Each structure stands twice: as structure tokens, then as C-alpha cells.
Structure 1
């Protein structure tokens, strides 16, 4: 195996500079850092990460672009707990401050939210894995991993549940939250409805923003749905509020399924039936990536986890012909 002395010689720098590059030291010019990393990669050299660098960066959504959401808080809580249980130190870095990342020693990074990979040359910049939460990585990038929930299965889970309870006009309000995958969800919902020979299209599958959500509920009600599925963002609580304004009782007049929101969904009146991500499994898989890469072991580029259904009191049976 090549030594750092040989890397230093090929890169035309001192061994001390090579050590600084491998420890993400801030006082190394970008051009020199890239030259050292290019030599290391060409010789298949992977420096060992020391215990003092068991520091994991949690990259959170920009506060200016993404208001704090219950989803982000739940993901951070589970990931932070999993990291702490395995002996990692945690540093939270808002996406607004990504430029600081090259000045912070870390052994892995986890990015939460719908932003894309910050740099397509991530592997050239950092000798550490990046885990994207709830985001597909296309095309695949070296040392970048995806841990996400199965959106297709989640949408089908909700539609099938309502279908089994006798509902045949299922309206869908897919929140255009920047933290979700609204267009993907819209497509999967229309497919799930079509597979069961239920009406779909724009009249029943709508994409409201937070600003026009209440109005969109009213437009949806004109098409006489007997149930509403409202995944993503704060859609569940806003839908329930709008239904009360329009004089609709849940579940007597209309059934409602939402995305689970901790400390909210279960305390609504009535308590809301919800689909939920497996946050514990999601956090464990994200940290598994970092564990494996620290040991220089291979790990699947993508981990996909199924949604679960929480049955409460917001869905009533409907008689079928």
C-alpha cells in the first residue's frame, strides 16, 4: 500500500500537508487539497479515520427556504438518538452554511430534506459518506447514499385501506411542501386509483400550496369525494380545519387519512388515521451507512423503507353496491 510520504512526493507537497488534507484541516488551499486527493484516489489509498473524528454533520433544510416542519424535527430526533447511541458526536449545519463544511472535520454527513446533493464531486471534496434522507440520488454518485421511504407503497397503502373500507370516490390533497415528493406522490396516487378502477384525474387529485390549501379543499368537495387522503407537510391538520369550515364532519360525512405528525395527529378530534414513515429504521439505516464506510465496507447505494398505517378514528366504513 502506498504511504503518505509517497503521496506527498507525487503531489509535490509535504507529508504534513497530506495529513492536513486527510483530516479536513481548514488551512489547506482548495487546489492543493484536490491534487492530494487525486493522487490518493489514483493509488486507491483510503486514509483511516481516527476516533477523534467521529463527528457526524446533520445538514438541515435552509431556514429561509423551508420553515421548520414537524417532519424535520422527527427525523433529527431519531437520527440524533441513533448517532449518540453508537458513540458519534453530532453537529447540526443549516444548508445556508454549507460553505463551512470544508472547514469542519467529520466522518460522515446526513442531509435531511428535498435538496439535491450539494456537490456532484462530493467524493473528491470529502473522504466521508453523504447520506441523503428521503431523496433519490440520480445519477448515482460515489460515496453518496440514499435512505428513503417507499413513496409508491405509502400511497398505495392509504388508497387500499380506504378502498377496503368501502370508499369509491377518494380525493387526494398532495401538499406542495418543499420537504416532500409531491409530483411523485401525485403519479403514484393516480396509478393506485386507476388500478382499482376508481375515478382520478385533476378533479380528485390536487396539489395545493399552504397558501391556497383551504380553497383547494372546497374545490375538491365540489366533486363529492367520500374520503380524502392528505399526505405531506401540514396537510392533515389544514384539511381537518377546512372540512370543519365547510361544515363536513369527520368521519360521519367524509373519511380522512393523513401523514402522521407527532403530538398532533393522535390529539385531533377525531384522532387521525395516518400513514407514517418508520423513523427508527430510517435513522438506523442512515447510521449503518456511516458505520460501514468507516470500516471501509461496501453498503447498498439505496435503502428503501415501507410506510406503516396507524388506524385511529377518522375513517368510517361506507356501504358498497
Structure 2
């Protein structure tokens, strides 16, 4: 009995086609997307495997022609992180309200090469548009290599000449956090940033810089973290805080670690050092002390993203770039510096 016959009802995947043709799944993806620089003999071998395995190219053609399926494909990079995960859930909720279904494809930290596979998998489902939650610059660079012909929106704070974009204004949120510290009287404010391959981390770091420049205050060298509480703890226990009276951490998880690390050194928050985070995690108000942070309205972001996507699907004028304003939440982790 053939391998295909033993599959039952399971549709052959791009990996099966790759195995049959003796090529990588990335090569199959590039053939399906019409990429140049593929050897003709390789292209023919892939197409033959597609025909032999009944891998339905007609569904790709229908999707590329934007046939209405009332379904939106969502490509999610780093789905375990709070921001991407919350954005996905908000988009799913907004899609349901608009009568659309969502097909999601997740990319983990060590699977960036599967971005092209994710695009093909979503397109073969006949989606009407793509929404890409791509917080890392490297992910977006790989996405640009794809050509689907579908309306595409990327969740990122910077405008993009090639795609629609929507996001929470990360820079404005960071500026609000740092300005709050400045208004309290802090003059030396350290920054624990996220990985600077992330658009959000870059924007938050820029907001920290801009607020200090506007106030005429010195700018130190930020420490680049990895979003985790463990990194924040290490920073809190080892960083030289001489002269520093406040820390702006790029997310709440690192802020939690910073507070823990400072306490290990006998430094009290906010009596000795104030700490501000970013995200307003559900538990942030229960940190000890409750965390001052920046709240992102993911529900509003999901609704905005769907509004832009649906307008693009229907051929109406759609915003090229739009943003949601964040909100500073002041709690007990910040106070005036001791004189």
C-alpha cells in the first residue's frame, strides 16, 4: 500500500511534498510562491511531486486571487511572549465580532526559517488577508521575501511602505513612563531594554532616550535584556546603581526581577530606587510593591487591525498606518527620590 493511501483523510503537507521531491520545504515554498532563481529541473520535480501527491494547487490559486473565504490568516512570531499572545487573542475576538474566522501559524524563537512555510500554509487555506504579528525585525525581513498578492497588515509601531501597519504607540508609552519619573524629581534613570531586534524594544528604548533629551538629562548606556524575570533579577543584583535613583524596565516581567534583585541587595523600592515597567500584566498590581507601568489596550488594537484588514479586503480605502495610545498606570513602585 502506498504512503499516501495509509494517510486516510490527512491532506499532504508541504513537508510531504518536499520529501517526495527530494528538496527542502523552503524550496517547495519558493516554487509555490513563484520565486525566481529556482532551477527549472528543481521546479519541475517539485511540481511533479505536487501532482503525484494531489497537493491541491487550485486552493493556492484561489487564495492568491483573494476569493472570499471569510477567513484571515495570522502569522505569529514568538507567541509565548505577552505582547504577541495578547495581540493574537484580541485579533481573534475582533474577527469573531466581524464574522471572520482566524487561522494562526506560530513561529518560535528557533524556527524563523518556517516563516515562509507559515505563509504558504495560511495561503493554501484560502484566507482573504494576512495579519502578521512580527515583533522582530528579522522576522519581517523574511516576510518581505514572500509574495502572496493578499492584503497584509503587520502589527508594529513603525509605518511601512509595503504593508498596512497598526500598533500601540510604544515610544509614547516609554516617554510617559520616563516623564513620570522626571516629574517626581529623578535625574539619573537607567534603562533595562528588551532585545533590540524587537521593534517594541527599540521604540521603548527610543522613548527613554527622547524623554531624557527633552529634559536635558544625561543618557547612560542601556542594558539589553531578554524579557525574562530571571534577567531582571540578575540585573538587579549586579548592576552598578551608583547615582541611579530610578529604572525603566522594558516590560513588567523584567521589572519584577529587578525589584527582587534590588531587595536581595538591601535596596528598597521605591524608597531607594523607583522602578517602572511596561505592559500592565494582570498581576502587576499585586507585585510588592504594586508596579507602576504602561498599559497596552490590546482589545482596541485588535479592533483597529480588523477594521483596516476588512477595508483592504473589500477594496475600500484603508489606513496605511494607525496607532493606539497607551496609558500610564501609577502605583506604589515609584516615588520622589530621597534628597
Change (3 A) 1:116 1:233: farther
Between the aligned partners of 1:304 and 1:272, the Cα distance in structure 2 is 25
Partner of 2:131: 110
Moved over 4 A (4+): 177-180, 210-213
CA gap of 1:26–1:117, structure 2 versus 1, over 3 A, is: farther
- Say whether residues 1:134 and 2:153 are aligned partners: no
1:178 to partner: Cα distance: 5.3
Q: What are the ranges of 5 or more consecutive residues in structure 2 without an aligned counterpart?
A: 1-54, 108-113
Alignment partner, residue 35 of structure 2: none
The answer to whether 1:158 aligns with 2:177 is: yes
1:233/1:94 CA distance change after superposition, 3 Å: farther
Structure 1 spans left out of the alignment, 5+ residues: 1-24, 38-46
Q: Is residue 207 from structure 1 mapped to residue 207 from structure 2 by the alignment?
A: no
Alpha-carbon contact 1:180-1:233 (below 8 Å) kept: no
SS of 1:234 mapped into structure 2: helix
1:55 is matched with 71
Which stretch of structure 1 is more off in the superposition, 216-225 or 78-87? 216-225
1:70 matches 2:91: no
More helix by share: 2
Aligned-pair CA distance for 1:88: 0.8
Q: How many residues align?
A: 271
RMSD of aligned alpha carbons: 2.9
Partner of 1:275: 294
The DSSP-based 3-state class of the residue aligned with 1:148 is strand
TM-score of the pair, normalised by structure 1:
0.74
Instruction: Give the superposition deviation at 1:276.
Output: 1.9
Which residue number in structure 1 is paired with residue 57 of structure 2? 27
Question: What pairs up with 1:238-249 in 2 under 5 angstroms?
Answer: 238-249=257-268
1:282 shift after superposition: 1.1
Tell me how far 1:180 sits from its aligned partner: 4.6
| Structure 2 equivalent of residue 94 of structure 1 | 106
d(CA) in 2 for partners of 1:177, 1:245 = 28
What does the per-residue CA deviation read over 1:186-230, in whole Å, with 9 as the maximum and x for residues that have no partner? 33322321221222121xx32234575444334544333111110
Find out whether 1:148 has 2:171 as its counterpart: no
1:69 to partner: Cα distance: 1.4
CA contact under 8 A between 1:26 and 1:104: conserved in structure 2? no
Distance in 2 (alpha carbons) for counterparts of 1:104 and 1:262: 34
Kindly state the Cα deviation for residue 287 of structure 1 after the two structures are TM-superposed: 0.1
Q: Distance in 2 between matches of 1:220 and 1:308?
A: 29
